[in-house]
Structure 1
Amino acid sequence: MAAALTGCGGGGGGGAEVADGGIGDGATGTTTGGAAPSTSNPRSSSGELLSGTGYAFGSRLDAYAAGTLVTVASPQQMDDTIRRCYDAWKRENLVRTDNIAPGGYVIKFANSPTVRTVSEGMGMGMILMSVMAGHDPNARTYFDGLFKVVRARPAYGPRQPALMDWRLWMDGRSGGDGWPATDGDLDIALGLLMADRQWGSDGQVNYKQEAINTINAIKEWFMYPDGRLRGRPSENTSRTSDFMFGHFRAFKKATGDAIWDAAVEKQIAILQALQANHSPGIGLVPDFCKDTNTSPAPSPGRNPGVGDGTVTDGDYFFNACRCPWRYGSDYVMTGDERMREICRKLVGFLQADSGGNPGSIATGYKLNGTAISRAYSAGGIVGPVLAGAMVDPSFQTFLNNLWSWNTNNFTTHYYDSELQLIPMLLASGNWWTP
């Protein structure tokens, strides 16, 4: 996995090349980065956040409920770093695709000669555009362009119009046999809710209604009535990085549907069982787990019905590596102690194994703590740990080291870059939920 490294820390600029068909508008915008959290946040009389009230990057309108913050850089320094990294990411990955939808954009799938995009990239791109409004004056145009492609390529055509075909070939045709992907659609739905708060829903796209359409389709397609996710074709199989607790809570707020409360409870119970029974004293979780209805266990490798069909399906690898970000962000926003404990175990092992040096975190682990590879340091593995390290003050030095490592080793290539940039937003105090 080659990666073009772009140091975004200090005074260095993001020197990524402009991709073929990519966006290199060089927009810088103006914000008051580093502002203290505001005590007056626009809300309705019932306390709900108001649609279209805006959330400029760097404004830090919503204080975190819990967690430890980076101390090795000031808020202004962190904001400047994120601006540079975001601009470098956008130049490399945002591509105009009128052949799929007029005015459409995609987040390109690395440097693949055959795959144009995947739904997980589209969802993360929509989230980034929502958060970076205020810095990027074209963020809404890009967001709407991404959404055009999402709806232009629905899963199974008209059968699932509110879910996206998970992979598209370079010419825009389906490359995934029409299947939707849980992670992609979950992020797309959250991005739409964030867009509703950022810009309101009275423009060309009714973001709130489109979000609800996708949320309801996720419930129908990806969930059991008891709130468990089903992320693979086989029954009672899930992917641990699909356990996006902050998303579930936002979906409950948007729809009032109690199934999203059940989703939080069921997925927490699955994680607790996996850590206790399959990674005791270590706390790692597998890419995929089976038997979620009885006794959750790691998926066996090379079984495409119970995972991706790779030898690492039951390991902490390039799916589960997202978990510290997904779980840590929920603790920071809610203070749920169960999430703190799950994340504390996982990050505690990574800190101990690496000696507190992010560059020594292995590229994947068996659940017994054995490293899969130490040949190189992957941004997609290290980036999410930055978010996870926010859950406990004992990780303060590790947290600061993780911030420095990610800013000095930022990669603009797909997947690694998003898994560095979004946790950086959280660690800098710039994350928010709709």
Structure 2
Amino acid sequence: MFQTRTRVNTRTELNVYAQFSATTDSTTGSSPKRSKRYKALVSLVIAVLLAGAGSIAPSQSTYAAGEKKPFPQQVSYPGIIKPNHVTQNAMNQSVTQYYDYWKGKYLKNDLSSLSGGYYVKGEITGNPGGFAALGSSEGQGYGMVITVLMAGHDPNAQTIYNGLFKTARAYKSSNNPNLMGWVVADNKNAQGHYSSATDGDLDIAYSLILAHEQWGSDGSINYLQEAKQMITNGIKASNVTSNNRLNLGDWDAKNALNTRPSDWMLSHLRAFYDVTQDPVWIQLIDNLYSVYNDFSNAYSPTTGLISDFVVNNPPKPAPEWYLDEFKETNIYYYNASRVPLRIVMDYAMYGDPRSKAISDKLTGWIKGKTNNTPSKIKNGYKLNGTEVGDYATAVFVSPFISAATADSGNQAWVNAGWDWMKNKKEDYFSDSYNLLNMLYISGNWWKPGSADQPALPNLALNAAAVASSIEGISFEADRAIDGNLQSRWASSEGSDPQWIYVDLGTVKALGSVRLHWEEAYAVKFKIQVSNDGSNWTDAYTETNGSGGVQEIPLNNVSARYVKMFGTERGTPYGYSLYEFEVYPPN
């Protein structure tokens, strides 16, 4: 009687309702006006189907109000691969399940000394100076980035984010109030007591840029203003050295050569440049690449590994027990394990070939070391690749999977790594960093644009739209141009070609098209334009689409009509777009 898919989502529910309605009409002759008994029966059928499908979640999250980039964004980065043995929808579900677990275990708002203050509960290394440490600025940074990226899935994300920011500001550094002290403790006297740690502040400042783009800055917190203040008067003033390196905190010297490679968050630094237009950030990026390459050429030419701390010029590994933190400060250990994610994101989001070169070197070495088995990665290596660790933990494994996304030859490795990491649950440090890697690998860590640039208008919003076919009721063409990422156009299933076009009303200059694909995406399609709706010209051709959110540049094009013409499906279904957006030139 029913022909439903194994992937149960809002599409299936509507299909069931429509097919059940049609079957009832033809077999019983009932009127279109449904009785309460009939509606109850339909609800029962849907519930049974959903229960039979197990715990499969809807393909699209329920959004809270106000998000401009609600989860899932599922971006496809140029030159970057994703796991291809699972659907995008399944990856999104794995991320939301892991976030819900992480939030329940580590995200807390029980500070008696700071009402409304949130923090990420986790262990610290180092001496908390007489206070009982609950967390750190490092964890605060992780939590703020994670929360803003999960907004849309979590309807309380902005409240939580603002609470995390409240804690970051209350626990300000004793040296520079624009930075955060490195320890969170439930005591008023701990607020303003500690100096800073560079990594936490970099993530916090970066998260403020994301928050500005997610919610805007006209609410109770001016996220953009706070970001600029922290970037310039905090990080630049205290952490960027005269040698174009990053020191370890605002307690450290401005001419220091000692630096922590896990602080080299290159895509963060590019975002800092975008919002400040200060060339110091580009100079810093260039020098950090030089330091990395000089270090690797001298100490890890076959592995590409880097030590937890780097000192001197020319750069070399710090000695053992550096800063009395732990013995292994001279090798690839629990600080440096985070580096591959920080490096590869500069290639994914900004296309820097230096990032890809480092990522490829690391990936080639670790795949050979483990015989292409991610679960054989160990928690510690000497710079020559000798194992010093004895088990696999996510903070070591997941960044190596992220680095491998920079080359399509690593597909099997990325697939195996995703399967390993998505259910790995350990402790605050590994779990938090694992979730950050999951957000990146699934395409749900989106690139912030220039936060000073006014948003371009979506020319297609609420215009007229026409499609070659529709799957059924509630999947009409105009669902793709209504500005609602919970509704969508879907074509009939199982046939090519299919298309949808939008009528902009008059001929307009075009700058780009943005396609928000549902799970039913196009591998091959064209963007075509026309001035009369009859004669079409190819403006863009895609031959290897992978779904997600696709940004398509249109150069020197003017048209009244814009069409997505799909010629090869990426799934057995049809073609489906949450939104078909058209933008003018910048």
Q: Please give the alpha-carbon distance, in whole angstroms, between the structure 1 residues aligned to 2:421 and 2:287.
A: 33
DSSP-derived class of the 1:64 partner? coil
Q: In the alignment, is the contact (CA less than 8 A) between 1:289 and 1:298 conserved in 2?
A: yes
Q: Does 1:254 align with 2:275?
A: yes
Q: Does 1:385 align with 2:400?
A: yes
Q: RMSD between aligned alpha carbons?
A: 2.4
Q: Does 1:56 align with 2:84?
A: no
1:124 match = 142
Once the two structures are superposed, the pairs formed by residues 399-418 of structure 1 within 5 Å of their partners are: 399-411=414-426, 413-418=427-432
Q: Please give the alpha-carbon distance, in whole angstroms, between the structure 1 residues aligned to 2:284 and 2:122.
A: 30
Q: In the alignment, is the contact (CA less than 8 A) between 1:165 and 1:179 conserved in 2?
A: yes
Once the two structures are superposed, the pairs formed by residues 331-346 of structure 1 within 5 Å of their partners are: 331-346=347-362
User: Alignment partner for residue 151 of structure 2, among 124, 133, 152?
Assistant: 133
Moved over 6 A (4+): 28-31
Please list the CA deviations of residues 180-210 of structure 1 after superposition, one character each: whole Å capped at 9, or x if unmatched.
0110000000010000000001111110011
Structure holding more helix per residue: 1
Give 1:150 deviation, angstroms: 0.3
Q: Please give the alpha-carbon distance, in whole angstroms, between the structure 1 residues aligned to 2:83 and 2:350.
A: 19
Give 1:172 deviation, angstroms: 5.7
Structure holding more strand per residue: 2
Please list the CA deviations of residues 124-165 of structure 1 after superposition, one character each: whole Å capped at 9, or x if unmatched.
100011100110000000000000000001100xx4111000
Q: Please give the alpha-carbon distance, in whole angstroms, between the structure 1 residues aligned to 2:57 and 2:100.
A: 11
Q: Please give the alpha-carbon distance, in whole angstroms, between the structure 2 residues aligned to 1:390 and 1:176.
A: 41
Once the two structures are superposed, the pairs formed by residues 288-307 of structure 1 within 5 Å of their partners are: 288-291=309-312, 294-304=313-323
DSSP-derived class of the 1:117 partner? strand
Q: Which has the higher contact order (CA 8 A, sep 6+)?
A: 1
Give 1:385 deviation, angstroms: 1.6
Q: In structure 2, list runs of 5 or more residues that go unmatched.
A: 1-6, 9-55, 126-130, 449-586
Q: Please give the alpha-carbon distance, in whole angstroms, between the structure 2 residues aligned to 1:313 and 1:241.
A: 12
TM-score (norm 1): 0.83
Once the two structures are superposed, the pairs formed by residues 195-274 of structure 1 within 5 Å of their partners are: 195-216=211-232, 217-231=234-248, 233=252, 235-274=256-295
Change (3 A) 1:141 1:360: same
DSSP-derived class of the 1:215 partner? helix
Q: Does 1:422 align with 2:413?
A: no
Identical-residue share of aligned pairs (%): 35
Give 1:427 deviation, angstroms: 0.8
User: Alignment partner for residue 329 of structure 1, among 319, 322, 345?
Assistant: 345
Q: Please give the alpha-carbon distance, in whole angstroms, between the structure 2 residues aligned to 1:315 and 1:344.
A: 20
1:49 match = none
Once the two structures are superposed, the pairs formed by residues 13-412 of structure 1 within 5 Å of their partners are: 32=60, 54-60=68-74, 62-110=75-123, 114-156=132-174, 159-171=175-187, 173-174=189-190, 178-216=194-232, 217-231=234-248, 233=252, 235-291=256-312, 294-304=313-323, 309-374=325-390, 376-411=391-426
Q: Please give the alpha-carbon distance, in whole angstroms, between the structure 2 residues aligned to 1:53 and 1:362.
A: 39
DSSP-derived class of the 2:196 partner? coil
Give 1:66 deviation, angstroms: 2.4
Please list the CA deviations of residues 38-92 of structure 1 after superposition, one character each: whole Å capped at 9, or x if unmatched.
xxxxxxxxxxxxxx871011133x5413222211211000001111000000000
Q: Please give the alpha-carbon distance, in whole angstroms, between the structure 1 residues aligned to 2:373 and 2:76.
A: 29
Give 1:110 deviation, angstroms: 4.3
Counterpart amino acid of 1:229?
Answer: L
Q: Please give the alpha-carbon distance, in whole angstroms, between the structure 1 residues aligned to 2:76 and 2:359.
A: 21
Counterpart amino acid of 2:178?
Answer: A
Q: Please give the alpha-carbon distance, in whole angstroms, between the structure 1 residues aligned to 2:389 and 2:145.
A: 31
Change (3 A) 1:212 1:336: same
Give 1:300 deviation, angstroms: 0.6
Q: Please give the alpha-carbon distance, in whole angstroms, between the structure 2 residues aligned to 1:403 and 1:361.
A: 14
Q: Which has the larger displacement, 418-427 or 84-93?
A: 418-427
Q: Please give the alpha-carbon distance, in whole angstroms, between the structure 2 residues aligned to 1:189 and 1:96.
A: 21
Counterpart amino acid of 1:422?
Answer: L
Change (3 A) 1:228 1:76: same
Counterpart amino acid of 1:115?
Answer: A
Give 1:262 deviation, angstroms: 0.6
Q: Please give the alpha-carbon distance, in whole angstroms, between the structure 2 residues aligned to 1:400 and 1:301.
A: 36
Give 1:348 deviation, angstroms: 1.8
